[in-house]
Structure 1
Amino acid sequence: MSYVVEAHCHERRFGSAVRKQIIMFLANKASDDGSGIWCSKGFVQRHTELSETSVKRTISEFLREGILVQTGQQRPCKNGFTVVYRIDMDVVAQLELIGAPARPPAQTGSSEDGVRPDPGTGSPEDGVRGPQGTPNNPKTTPKPPTRAQEPGEEDLGKIWDAYPEDRRRDRPTSLRLARDALSEATAAELLTAVKAYALHSAGHTRSKVSFSDNWFRLGKWRPFVEAARAEAHRPQEIAERQLSDAAKAIRERKDWMYRHLPEARVFQAVQRGLITREEAKAAGFLR
């Protein structure tokens, strides 16, 4: 058990509640340098009460992102062997910190008569101060979002324009459903998802694609948003290296390397010009 590693991971963002729960469980089993984690996936699944699929997927993501490292040592067990993992503290240190909420400024007032005019601050005569403000203080009550904070027609228009032209249908319904989707994703994320889908489905027959209204209604944008978030979550240095490695593996047709690449990473490599669309298609992606 290492409180050092736990505290290190506790202060970082890992992208989702499931990812945070699993990394905190593994950190609890690590030594102070992050090594010596003797936990099978089944053991993690039983103690976190998550699904086996979630545990396997998340640990695979951590390995790809460099957050977890397989040390190569093995411990025999009834199902074969247990892999020993190490949490890479340097990689974790590059993740985004969880910022503390800003503290409201201290309230002050006149003390000439021994009573402060602000509500709840108490009298200095008895040496006891009250709370800094009341629950309905207009300075602390959150204000409802304004129209300026809501996605505008310009954002929705860009999303509509990015959708493949031959599959656009029922613009009013599509835009209404797109606006509903913005309760789960930002306009930028949804625009990226549409562009990724357009690239992914280019060349597909009509029976293999979706019209815009159905695409938004059925939530087919969600996998693209989730993949983009996972890619964006990786530290920049690791992201650049993995993009470069992915492009090299595809160009050199190293099947054992590229056959398990996330399609979102391949799409990003195409967007960055590291490989061509034809090279990605030849490797079995973006068909």
Structure 2
Amino acid sequence: MSYHVESICDRRRFGSATRKQIVMYLANKASDDGTGIWCSKHTIARHTELSLATVKRVIRDFLAEGILLATGLRDTSRHGQTVVYRIVLEAVEELELLQWSTGSSTTGVTLNPVPPVPATGVTVSPQPGSGRPPNNPKNHPENPPSARTSAREAADADLEPLWEAYPADRRRDRKACGQILAGAQAEASSEELTEAARTYAAETADYTRTKVMFLDNWLRTGKWRRYVEEARGRAREKESRARTDEETMIRSAARWILERSAMCRHVPRKYALKAVERGLITLRDAQAAGVL
């Protein structure tokens, strides 16, 4: 059981309640890296109370979309062999995040509107003149913003997420922070600096306030650089791991196709095509194995 994988899947949109129900069941059976899922489709259908045909169709779709990968076979006492799956966390994290509503619904007595009363009496003819009332904003066009004003507003917009991410009682001198931020953006993007501020805020959450730097000093002294570099390192490591996993799956797919293995029916089309492009197999091999 992996609460980590369940949490990642829970926050993503999978397109239907059926798909979400099946992927949450698989996530419950996975290790923290998404691997080691070995439960038969009959078991999934029994626990989710869905039909076996529906379970097979959804898993087939997940394999084609790259959300699931078949990593091997496992012998079982009841059904012979069961496919072992892995949830590709990188593919899941690219799915659309669920949007949580922050509004509150209001209830109470609904009052019936008062019906309009037809006007009676003398009808006054309108006086000729302009069709616009004197307070119409089109009668008083505003002056276009100056270049300096536009630049200041853009700088303030860049600072806003960083300002909100930093510990509230350690913020000061917003104008100076905006000026220093402009220099820091030559080395890091606004998103990287904002994420660095969040990491620093979490790291110093239990510190006494005197041990936490003010935001202007944090930017001026470059304390953000360590967090940016660590985040970039994690991103490179994640990208490298994804490339390694993809290379492993392409080579496994080529081997299964050449061996006419039972795993051929679980090979996604995109991996078969990449194996053909790299010369590991021929198009005729893939077609003979029923993959293409």
The answer, yes or no, to whether TM exceeds 0.5 is: no
What TM-score results when the alignment is normalised by the length of structure 2? 0.39
Q: Compare relative contact order (CA 8 Å, sep 6+) and give the higher one, 1 or 2.
A: 2
What TM-score results when the alignment is normalised by the length of structure 1? 0.39
